[in-house]
Amino acid sequence: MAITLKINGKNKSVDAAEGTPLLWVLRDHMGLTGTKFGCGVAQCGACTVHVDGVPIRSCITAHEDVEGSDVTTIEAASGKVADAIRAAWEELAVPQCGYCQAGQIMSAINLLETNKSPTDDDIDNAMSGNICRCATYVRIRAAIKDAAKSV
Amino acid sequence: MFMHLAQPQTAAHETPPKTISFEIVNLSRRRFVKGASGAAFTLAIAACAPNKPSTVSEAVAPIPDNSAVASGPLVFISIAADGRTQITNPRSEMGQQVITTVAQMIADELEVAWDKLEIKQAVGDAKYGDQNTDGSTSVRNHFKRFRMAGASMRQMLTQAAANEWGVDISECSSELGVIKHSSGKTLTYGDVAAAASQLEVPAEDSVKLKSRKEWRYIGKDQTSFTIPDVIRGKGTYGIDVRVPNMLYAVVARPPTVFGRIKSLNDRAALAVRGVTKVIRLPDPQGEAAAFQQLGGVAVIATDTWAAIQGREALEIEWEAGANGNYDSESYGRQLRATARKSGAVKLKRGDVAAAMEGAAKTVTAEYYAAHLSQSPMEPPSATAQWTDGKVECWACTQNPQAARSTVAAICGIPEEDVTIHVTLLGGGFGRKSKPDFIVEAALIAREAGAPVKVTWTREDDVRHGYFHAVSAQYMQAGLDAAGKPTAMLHRTVFPSINSTFGPADEGSNFELSLGATDAPWAVPNLQVEVGKAKAHIRIGWLRSVANVYHAFANQSFAAELAEAAGQDPKDYLLAMIGSDRQIDLSKDGVTYPNYGASLEEHPIDTARMKAVLNKVADMAKWGRDVPDGHGLGISVHRSFLSYVATAIEVAVDAEGKISFPGIWVAVDAGTVVNPANTKVQMEGGTLYGISNALYGEITAKNGVVEQGNFPDWRVMRINESPHKVEVHIMESDAPPGGVGEPGTPTAAPALANAIFAATGQRLRSLPLLGQNDRLKMTKEG
Ligand code: FES
Ligand code: FES
């Protein structure tokens, strides 16, 4: 049975099996492939999206559970903090392969939206769920701090 | 500035921008020395008239020797009337910023403005020359031909302008897409592109490359073509490909390599909502897995999740086959035991046995390193679509030509009927140079009668990989009364990558040349031996390959000898490397492949090696007092023609927790095309090495890999990461070396040496932590 989800500000009708994670609804049903699959078990953060502004792992979130909520993906992440994060990411050339970076950015946006000047520990806490196999961690940390300064 | 990557939605219908396109085909003559035997191929330069199809035969029509041309690398550049310049990039982008680097080399000599560049990604085709993006080769093997292509085209464009003005070319110059005559007249590249396309391509010796001083982009920190897309969720990776009416598949593969299906019940799988079909994949043929599919059962569905659910519901009984006894624990014991016995001698200098006898002191150490998984963040994924007996594939592949030939061979169709589109790669690290997953997509799509994307879950990636070899090494040295090494014996035992491709039960010359036979030791008596080891899972390349374990043993052992001699590890290491010289391994009976490069151009140069070592010691302020619980470790290694030294300061607290107050890297990669990116690669390579050294461990039991997903397969997270890696690039005019891999080998030994300095514990077995968060503080390593 089709349900309606609000994705990036638009209502979209989805007809997927009950329990289908939001990740696969976004990627396979809606063609929003910016949100990535890395593990499927909430271990890597590649699939991070915002639900009502809060970062969640879309690989373990049944799509029907976000009915009535606002879902934002990397493609539509915007605002002052998102801009500052992207600018810092570009300035410091954070991404290598880039595959984890949608998730990193979604986690980092939430961090700065809730904490204007995060300490190293705050960064560890907010970002340790996001694996980067290219190990861009040194630059992620620096870019978060730079972005914090510019917001 | 934008880039085209193979996008299935547009590829079929896209009409090319109305350009007067000419293709310059760089077939420049040069000598390429591979290993000891020089294999030369002939190239020349040809240009196609506008609007002619860009097939190889058309492009090479003017070249007399077609057979030579077929293996020759062609570089495709086209210029539109409005000056837009399209470069066809033949290399795979996996985060090493190769698109940007290739553009830098071509655009510099072409003298074109950076914002006029557009990048098109090449499909897999022999006409592009070697496309295998592996071995850190994109710059070191192609530096000249990419520049020659740009320079030749620039000369043709300038000639076309000279013709139009009726003047001699010597009166004309060009800068950033504008050709000037001494009188002040100007024409743009776009103005003369059509005329230039009618010209003969200049002979190589008439084309002048820029001097270093004139370089506009080479050696500069040009910004990335891909990052702006990536941070907006826009880049298309293999797993992101979408084709109209496509289906999604996952595969249940035999848990053991060459395992087979005993029985299959797919009723429950077919009942899962969204599952459309269940098919059996053919078993791999012959004795070697090579790039074949692994067999098993594919579940095809209307989305990936349904396919995964369907796979869960399959009832399969497997027959383990010949590899069902693989057990990492007993195998490890066996490797160690083999390493204690003499093996086949692969390097022999002097008389090691006699020198050991006469030594004042002998030191022995055994090292061990576990299997590793490359685990790129994007697991393997490929999409295939069949039309009229021909197949088009889209994939995150490091090696589209191998993908093409393997798909053709296994599907039983000619190579011309296979198109491999290369997407962005969400990491590669060697995993994606093996196209088995693309073969699966082609086979499944044919059977499904619809386009199909095959996605590997993380469990698939970790369990069914091409693993970095597990290894045991035995080192022995004899020291004289002054503590100086007079004899050294290095025995290395590991299942060879060659076993993936045919019968092989010992490490190959190629693998030994990665850090074993080319160790820089100025020891009068030296012997390298290799022992037998059969493989029971697929063994494959991982970032820097055998250099990982060989550098770990050699560079740890050097520090152990320093300790035995009561000397400073850095000074001792410098002395072990010895005088400034170019090492000639042929004297020791070694046929040294030298990463495919000539030894004249790329000698093993101990002066460069010592220079990076001294530099990194300066950076780390080697010799300073460090706080309690801290320790400094150092190592140096040459790989992929580049020299890297690493110094690590660790802090180990009372509970055994490790942190990194500092990491320093000095790299001499010869001429560097993009310094900023070289630093990034050194950072990434170092942390990849540290992550694997601390946590990386793949084990098998009953032939089955025991790890499945994060965190069983553990990789570094941000809270475990150093906060800073300081990189220094040595100024050099030497020809370029590799950059993507050389940062990795020195990481593990520098780390182990630092831990020894901090704790007095010599750790000789990787991973150092595995699933633990603290070092086990024991007496033994
Ligand atoms: S894919 Fe969701 S956390 Fe890894
Ligand atoms: S940038 Fe490659 S995984 Fe993070």
The Cα-based distances of B553 to B425, B546, B622, B666 in angstroms read 32, 11, 22, 20
What atom in ligand 2 is closest to the CA of residue A94?
1
pLDDT-based confidence at residue B73 (cuts at 50, 70, 90): low
B50 confidence band (pLDDT: 50, 70, 90): very low
Helix, strand, coil shares, percent, chain A, to 5? 40, 15, 45
Q: What are the residue ranges spanned by the domains of chain A?
A: 3-76, 80-148
Averaged pLDDT, B639-652: 98
pLDDT at B28: 27
Whole-number pLDDT of residue A32: 98
CB neighbour burial string for B567-582, b if at least 16 within 10 angstroms, e if fewer = bebbebbbbbbeeeee
CATH number at residue B167: 3.30.365.10
DSSP letters of B597-615? S-TTTS--BHHHHHHHHHH
Chain B interface mutation, best of A97, A144, A145, highest count of B Cβ atoms under 10 Å: A97
pLDDT interval class at B549 (50, 70, 90):
very high
**Helix axes of B547-565 and B747-759: crossing angle, nearest 10 degrees:** 30
Q: Residue range B372-384: average pLDDT?
A: 98
- Give CA–CA dist B24/B326, Å, rounded: 53
Q: Which of B195, B230, B265 is the last residue of a domain?
A: B230
Give the list of residues 6+ apart from residue B212 with CB closer than 8 angstroms, or none: B219, B733
- Same structural domain, B399 and B504: no
Q: CB neighbours of B544 closer than 8 A, spacing ≥ 6?
A: B514, B639, B640, B685, B689, B741, B742, B744, B745
Distance CA B21, CA B608 (A): 45
Structure tokens at B281: 């994949």
Q: Are B514 and B477 members of one domain?
A: yes
pLDDT at position B44, please?
Answer: 25
Regions in chain A scoring below 70 on pLDDT: none
What is the DSSP track for B248-303? EEEEE--SSTT-EEEEEE-HHHHHSTTEEEEEEEPPPPSS--TT----EEEEEESS
Closest CA to A71 of A10, A2, A1: A10
Contact A23, B457 (CB under 8 A): no
Interface check for B223 against chain A (CB to CB < 8 A): the answer is yes
Highest CATH level, class, for A3-76: alpha beta
B500 and B531 together in one domain: yes
pLDDT (average), residues B659-674: 97
- In this predicted structure, the answer to whether residue B14 has a pLDDT above a threshold of 80 is no
pLDDT tens-place string over residues B685-702: 999 999 999 999 999 999
Residue B760 dihedral angles phi and psi, to the nearest 5°:
80, 5
The domain in which residue B490 lies consists of 328-372+466-766
What is the distance between the alpha carbons of residues B124 and A15, in angstroms, rounded to a whole number? Answer: 37
CA B663 vs. chain centroid, Å, equals 23
- Quote the CA–CA distance of B46 and A95 in Å, as a whole number: 38
Q: Are residues B307 and B191 in the same domain?
A: no
Contact A23, A35 (CB under 8 A): yes
pTM of the model: 0.92
Q: Is the CB of A101 under 6 A from ligand 2?
A: yes
Beta-bridge partner residues of A62: A21
Do the beta carbons of residue B396 and residue B456 sit within 8 Å?
no
| pLDDT (tens digit per residue) in B527-538 | 999 999 999 999
CA nearest to B245, candidates B408, B443, B448: B448
CB contact under 8 A, A97 and B425: yes
Helices A137-150 and A101-114 cross at an angle (nearest 10°) of 40
State how far the Cα of B12 lies from the Cα of B390, in Å rounded to an integer: 14
Q: What is the mean pLDDT of chain B?
A: 90
- Give tens-digit pLDDT for B731-777: 999 999 999 999 999 999 999 999 999 999 999 999 999 999 999 86
Does residue B703 surpass a pLDDT of 50?
A: yes
CB within 6 Å of ligand 1 — which residues?
A: A 37-40, 42-47, 57, 59
Residue B772 lies in a domain: no
Q: Could B304 and A130 be called an inter-chain contact, meaning their C-beta atoms sit closer than 8 Å?
A: no
pLDDT in tens, B88-99: 899 999 999 999
From the CB of A126, is ligand 2 less than 6 Å away?
no
Residues of B in contact with A37 (CB under 8 A): 239, 304, 379, 455
Nearest CA-CA partner of B156 in B232, B77, B214: B77
Residue-wise pLDDT for B134-191, tens only, equals 888 888 888 988 998 899 899 999 999 999 999 999 999 999 999 999 999 999 999 9
Q: Which residues in chain B have Cβ-Cβ distances shorter than 8 Å to A100? A: 377, 426
Please tell me whether residues B565 and B508 are part of one structural domain: yes
B409 in contact with chain A, both atoms CB, cutoff 8 A: no
User: Is residue B39, in this structure, part of any structural domain at all?
Assistant: yes
Is residue B52, in this structure, part of any structural domain at all? yes
**B149 shares a domain with B249:** no
Half-sphere exposure of residue B171, counting CA atoms within 13 Å on the CB side?
Answer: 15
Tell me: pLDDT of B49 over 90. no
Domain boundary among B394, B425, B455: B455
How buried is B509 (Cβ within 10 angstroms: 0-12 exposed, 13-18 middle, 19+ buried)? middle
- The secondary structure of B90-136 as a DSSP string is -SPPSSS-HHHHHHHHHHHHHT--GGGEEEEEPPS-GGG------SS
Q: Do the Cβ atoms of B317 and B263 come closer than 8 Å?
A: yes
DSSP one-letter code for A113: H
Does some domain include residue B103? yes
- Whether chain A has a CB inside 8 Å of the CB on B657: the answer is no
Out of B54-68, B164-178, B586-600, which region has the weakest mean confidence (pLDDT)? Answer: B54-68
From B717's Cα to the closest Cα of chain A, the distance in A is 6
Q: What angle do CA B617, B622, B627 make, to 5 degrees?
A: 145
- Whether the CB-CB separation of B511 and B486 falls below 8 Å is answered with no
Cβ(B300)–Cβ(B274) under 8 Å?
A: no
Burial of B508 by CB count in 10 Å (0-12 exposed, 13-18 middle, 19+ buried)? middle
B:240-259 residues touching chain A, CB 8 A cutoff: 240, 242, 248
What SS3 string covers B412-481? CCCHHHEEEEECECCCCCCHHHCCHHHHHHHHHHHHHCCCEEEECCHHHHHHCCCEECCEEEEEEEEECC
**Per-residue pLDDT at B21 exceeds 80:** no
The last residue of one of the domains, among B167, B197, B230, is: B230
Asked: is A80-148 a CATH 3.40.1390.10 domain? The reply is no
In a domain, B178, yes or no: yes
| Token couple for B725 | 């890696």
DSSP annotation of A27 reads: I
Residue B62's pLDDT band (cuts 50, 70, 90) = very low
B72 Cβ contact list (under 8 Å, min separation 6):
B27, B41, B42, B43, B127, B129
pLDDT tens per residue, range B311-359: 999 999 999 999 999 999 999 999 999 999 999 999 999 999 999 999 9
| Per-residue pLDDT at B31 | 25
Query: Are B318 and B332 found together in one domain?
Result: no
Residue B778 is predicted with a pLDDT of 60
Question: Is the pLDDT confidence value at B2 over 90?
Answer: no
Joined together, the tokens standing for residue A24 give 């696969």
Q: Is residue B302 part of a domain?
A: yes
Name the token pair of A140: 């992620």
CB-ligand 2 contact for A44 (6 Å cutoff): no
CA distance B742 to B762: 24
- Pick the residue of A58, A59, A133 with the most B CBs within 10 A to test the interface with B by mutation: A133
Asked if the model's pLDDT at residue B46 lies above 70, the reply is no
| Counted domains in chain B | 3
